[in-house]
Amino acid sequence: MRIKYGIIDVQSDFLDGKGFDGVMTNYTPMMQQYLKIKAEYEDAFLFFRLGDFYEMFLDDALKASQVLEITLTSRDAGNGKERIPMCGVPHHSAASYIEQLIDKGYKVAICEQTEDPKQAKGVVKREVVQLITPGTVMDGKGLAEKKNNYLATLTVFDDGAYGFAYTDLSTGEMKATLLMSSLEHVLNELSLLGVKEIVIASQFDRDIEQKMKERLPLIVSYEDDTSQKPDFSSLLKLIEKEQLQETVARLLNYLVRTQKRSLDHLQSVEEYEINHYMKIDYYSKRNLELTESLRGKGNKGTLLWLLDETMTAMGGRLLKQWIDRPLINQNAIQARSSLVETLLTHYFERQELRDRLKEVYDLERLAGRVAFGNVNARDLIQLKRSLEQVPIIRKVIAQLNHKEASKLETQLDPCTELTERLGQAVIENPPLSIKEGGIIRDGYNRELDQYRDASRNGKTWLAQLEQEERKRTGIKSLKIGYNRVFGYYIEVTKANLHLLEEGRYERKQTLANAERYITPELKEKETLILEAEEKSVDLEYELFLSIRDYVKEFIPRLQALAKAVSALDVLQCFATISELRHYVKPTFTNDGSIFIQDGRHPVVEKVMAAQSYVPNDCTMDADCEMLLITGPNMSGKSTYMRQTALIAILGQIGCYVPAAEARLPIFDQVFTRIGAADDLISGQSTFMVEMLEAKNALTHATEHSLILFDEIGRGTSTYDGMALAQAIIEHIHDHIGAKTLFSTHYHELTILEQTLRKLKNIHVSAIEQNGKLVFLHKIKQGAADKSYGIHVAELAELPPSLIKRANDILSQLEKKKTGSTNGEDGAAIQPMATKEAEPIVPGAQLSFFADAVETKKRTSLSSKEKKIMEQLYKLDILEMTPMEALNTLYGLQKLLKK
């Protein structure tokens, strides 16, 4: 097979699947080596080391040249008939190119030379030393400072259970759980964690794999090895379930195979239960904008954005984890909020704590880099400075005199021995490179001091020799220099050569205008100086590696310290925000009642900084489990619903809440259906998404859940929508009993307050002033008196003529409803608006042909009309396309007019 790549014609027999035999001999030995290695990493870009460059060939070169916007060239393939595509990047700047590829969802296999080219017999040995993937990034721009980078694995067992495990390789965190429910819970976990890559078996269920790809922007990798190696025992010691052990083993085997280096920083796997936290499904997390905004998909405008006053990267990541998984254990919630209260009342201690935390480096990720072997001397200095803050932080915490603070104080390990070693060994401002010396302090190692002394004294001797030679010869321009090729030399211009003493100087190099010489004394010192400098650099590198190994012994202690520091950071963050935003400490009820006085939407309040936010109450108890909310668009119904959920979530993560007073139950789940958006990727309409979200809530909600439904049913016809809305309200009221906020524009539903004992009507008030609509954003008891839809259209600045026409039609409709046949201008009401929907009575049947039924009651129908009615009755409207429906309607109308 011949493949055309622009002007390059490539013979690709090997890629045709003919194997290595025969065909491989057509290529150079180096290309044969490349193709063999590439065959093992078909789904990754292979960065193949050639001298000072990483080269890519064939398809990799074509694709990389486009993605990275680098020059595409070609080289001889070896058989003399064709040239193959090639591109490359310099070794010293490869990191930035790798980051670009990983950020775009690709994998990169790093293939290094594993022997000295000078000593190689034939082709230099090469092998892949690491496979970098979106889920295994360890440093660089691919790692957001305050965001975890999760790699997950999933195993489906014969009994229907899902084994799920995940890790952040950069921090060493590992967790696992067994999900005995539906695939939806798995998808929810993947979404909640923002997983970048998932590892599955090669024979994994393709339907499930496809659903994961449709829901989430992740890449899929394969690993079939689930054997438990001896090295895994310490990591699996907390896991008893065999299914989970197998699941985690798959993940660990994948890491070992791809990373090919020490993973000493991985922590023992923690087993968790999703039922131990408040469940917030994928839809609700998105609708409430907890960690990602709906529009920009960024951080701004989210609850995380509002709360993040953390001072450390570790604290920022933990804050997101707490928002993702609010607590349901009341004692644990109160332990957090109690410490927040203490920090709130100790202003000066809190400010000192914030100042100290600001100086603390990312200990979690530093431990990972130490284990991986890519830590540098500057990292170690930052570690030392971080550890120096710990004794001060402990002293501040002790001043709080609080039980929970004392627990954290005992976990703040200053690692004194490590701090002292780093202070003794590494200079304060070391270079970035660890192989060029200048890292280790004087006095740390005697041998190094001797080399340095020889080097320094030697250079002093050289300066003295230069002065002596000038005096001896009388040549003032004589100088002693150095280069890598010839070493040290004495340089004399040709005009002064006659002044040199014969027999003393040995010519070393001739220049255009000068000669360079060596003397026996200079030669002796040169050997001493150069040996001292070379040995000094080599010894410093060895000493640095030994220091790094010493730091590695402290990894478990550093990780425990990091957990305590990050928890302290998040709690001070809660106290800071609570003081700044005037939040209050919530109390928790056991009877399921809600009392929120002057509640506010925390994010909207911050965004409206210059304006005054209108607070609202929310009261629900055993006699009121559902609030039916009516009122005009833009009046604040959705904001009121969201703020109730956000107040509950804030309370259950241990933070104060935006209200004057708050008494809350502990919710086990939060479900929302707010906003409307098509799911274009999976081909689902707005209404289908609406129904799926409603189904999720109706299926899984309990009496301890919170449900927010915003205008359910608006995505279909009026009668269908009202019927569905009423049925959903009745189902929640009669069968679930969850606290529910249900907003609607179907004013006919407000009559349900008369038949559903635990449903109450409330509305968002608005008034008309001089013909204009003014939103009061205040919640009041009872149902809204009208929709104000035309007023909202006027606020949106629709054409004045259109607004006037809409008001005329509305007036005609209202008069027709009360018996009038003409509007004020005498015009007949158009067919498209001949009748307004009747109120829905609980249990009553709705009809698509209400007008026809009323007509039949008033008059007897002709045989032709009866025939048309029969045809209408038999039509399956839901199965017709819009064009088919229009053609059918036109035909019936034509028949009726004959």
Q: Annotated binding site for ATP: which residue ranges?
A: 631-638
The DSSP code for 801 is: H
Using CA atoms, how far residue 89 sits from 67, 72, 123, 142, 545, in Å, is 13, 11, 21, 19, 29
Distance CA 220, CA 133 (A): 10
Q: Which helix (H) or strand (E) holds 200?
A: strand 197-200
Taking a C-beta distance cutoff of 8 angstroms, is the pair 225, 250 a contact?
yes
Contact 110, 47 (CB under 8 A): yes
Q: Which of 681, 736, 670, 677 is nearest to 709 (CA)?
A: 670
Helix pair 555-581, 363-372: axis angle to 10 deg: 160
Name 880's Cβ contacts closer than 8 Å, sequence gap at least 6.
Answer: 888
By DSSP bridging, strand 626-630 and strand 739-743 are: parallel
What does the CA dihedral 173, 174, 180, 186 come to, rounded to 10 degrees?
60
Tokens of 517: 């010489």
Nearest Cα neighbor of 297 from 308, 307, 285 is 285
Please state at what angle helix 555-581 crosses helix 313-324, rounded to 10 degrees. Answer: 70
3-state percent breakdown (helix, strand, coil) of the chain, nearest 5: 45, 20, 35
Query: Distance between CA 48 and CA 763 in Å, rounded?
Result: 67
Q: How far is CA 458 from the centre of its chain?
A: 56
CA angle 830-833-834, nearest 5°?
85
Among all chains, which residue has been given the structure tokens 């607590």?
A: 327
Residue whose C-alpha is closest to residue 478's, from 492, 499, 467, 495: 492
φ/ψ (deg, to 5) at 442: -65, 140
Q: Hey, what are 186's tokens? A: 């798995």
Q: How far apart are CA 855 and CA 162, in angstroms?
A: 59
Handedness of CA 367, 368, 373, 375 (dihedral sign): negative
Cα–Cα distances (Å) from 140 to 100, 124, 315, 426, 879, in that order, read 10, 30, 19, 24, 54
836, amino acid identity: E
Calculate Rg over the CA atoms of the chain.
38
Tokens at 649, concatenated: 């979530």
CA dihedral defined by 64, 66, 69, 70, rounded to 10 degrees? Answer: 50
Q: Please name the amino acid found at residue 770.
A: N
Annotated binding site: 631-638
Q: Quick one: tokens of 231?
A: 């090295």
CA distances to 683, 755, 824, 828, 832 from 820, in Å: 46, 32, 10, 10, 17
Are 267 and 172 contacting, i.e. CB atoms less than 8 angstroms apart? yes
- What is the C-alpha separation between 345 and 342, in angstroms, rounded? 5
Query: By the 8 A CB rule, do 87 and 65 touch?
Result: yes
Cα separation, 180 vs 190, whole angstroms:
16
**Cα(576)–Cα(343) distance, rounded to whole angstroms?**
8
Specify the residue for token string 């290309």: 31
**Closest by Cα among 313, 184, 163, 190 to 248:** 163
φ, ψ of residue 618 in degrees (nearest 5)? -145, 115
